[in-house]
Amino acid sequence: MNSDQAANLRRIAGKQNKCRYLSVSSGKGGVGKTTFAVCLASELSKLGRKVLLFDADLGLANVDVLLRIPPGANIRDYLAGDAALKDIAVKTSLGFYLFPASSGALELAELSEEEFDKIRTILKELESGYDYIIFDTGAGINANVHRFTRLADKMILITLPEPAAISDAYAFLKTAVRQYEVNRAYLVFNRVEEEVSSLRVFENLKRVVKRFLGTDLLLLGMLREDGMVKRSARGGDPAAVFKGDSVFTESVRRIAAGI
């Protein structure tokens, strides 16, 4: 028996914890990736899963800012050899762990393939400790974003139910399909005010994606416009919103249960 067969047998026997990678991306910026990724990490933790939220917006990281976590060692310190891996992941008040990145670091925004290999190594070292690693990527179609989405078991795209955001979501998927195989992707509509028309928009997009890209697009969920989320990001305590029962957290809870 070779090692792959042995690993498969352990998996079938349920004795091996297989960490799943989820990526959260979008074409257009500011559509709610970070808000959703944090809430999803929080809801999966509430279900008893061990979750690491990896701030994959390497050069413009802001999960720590959203969660009001004081600056500490981050991925930049690790790559520079100034910090050990065990000193970087921090436990958040929402139960999951955060692997913070750096804000304003141009060298992280434009990593070479060799430098990204170090990140793959980091992930391999981290994955035995977690059930899920979630990548909160930056917006758009740059190389870093696609390197992370390519690693994911589930590619989650966030969009608003608006033509510009939907067209960017399609463009994102198109650039992905040109570089690597994407048999299936999952869509989340955020800031939805009217579900019936968003559903119609989804059905059209799904058809176009299947026809022109050959990818199955599945609707993971719709998240409502939520004044509590917006107000908390502007000065309150977002963690308090994610701990409680807002319209937004309830929708993300359903998604987490499905995952």
Ligand X SMILES: Nc1ncnc2c1ncn2[C@@H]1O[C@H](COP(=O)(O)OP(=O)(O)OP(=O)(O)O)[C@@H](O)[C@H]1O
Instruction: Write out the residues near ligand X by the rule CB under 6 A.
Output: 26, 29-35, 57, 138-139, 190-191, 223, 225-226, 229-230, 233, 248
Order of strands, sheet of 184-192, starting from the edge strand that comes earlier in the sequence = 90-91, 97-99, 51-56, 132-137, 20-25, 154-159, 184-192, 216-224
30 binds, among Mg ion, ligand X, none (CB under 5 to 8 A by kind): ligand X
Q: Does 137 bind Mg ion (CB under 5 A)?
A: no
Q: Can you tell me the distance from the alpha carbon of 38 to that of 68, in angstroms, rounded to the nearest whole number?
A: 13
Q: Does 34 bind Mg ion (CB under 5 A)?
A: yes
Residue tagged 């939520």 (tokens): 226
96 three-class SS: coil
27 binds, among ligand X, Mg ion, none (CB under 5 to 8 A by kind): none
Cβ–Cβ under 8 Å, residues 225 and 192: yes
55 binds, among ligand X, Mg ion, none (CB under 5 to 8 A by kind): none
Least distance (Å) from Mg ion to the CB of residue 63? 8
Least distance (Å) from ligand X to the CB of residue 41? 13
Least distance (Å) from ligand X to the CB of residue 85? 25
Q: Does 33 bind Mg ion (CB under 5 A)?
A: yes
Segment interacting with Mg ion (CB under 5 A) among 27-35, 81-89, 109-117, 191-199: 27-35
List of E strands, the chain: 20-25, 51-56, 90-91, 97-99, 132-137, 154-159, 184-192, 216-224
Segment interacting with Mg ion (CB under 5 A) among 12-20, 31-39, 74-82, 242-250: 31-39
Q: Can you tell me the distance from the alpha carbon of 89 to that of 192, in angstroms, rounded to the nearest whole number?
A: 33
125 three-class SS: helix
Residue with smaller CB distance to ligand X, 114 or 193: 193
49 binds, among ligand X, Mg ion, none (CB under 5 to 8 A by kind): none
Count Cβ neighbours within 10 Å for each residue of 4-35 and write b for 16 or more, e otherwise: eeeeeeeeeeeeeeebbbbbbbbbbeebbbbb
144 binds, among ligand X, Mg ion, none (CB under 5 to 8 A by kind): none
Segment interacting with Mg ion (CB under 5 A) among 9-17, 33-41, 79-87, 167-175: 33-41
From residue 184, how far is each of 109, 152, 200 by CA, in Å? 27, 11, 20
Least distance (Å) from ligand X to the CB of residue 7? 35
| Contact footprint for Mg ion (CB under 5 A) | 33-34
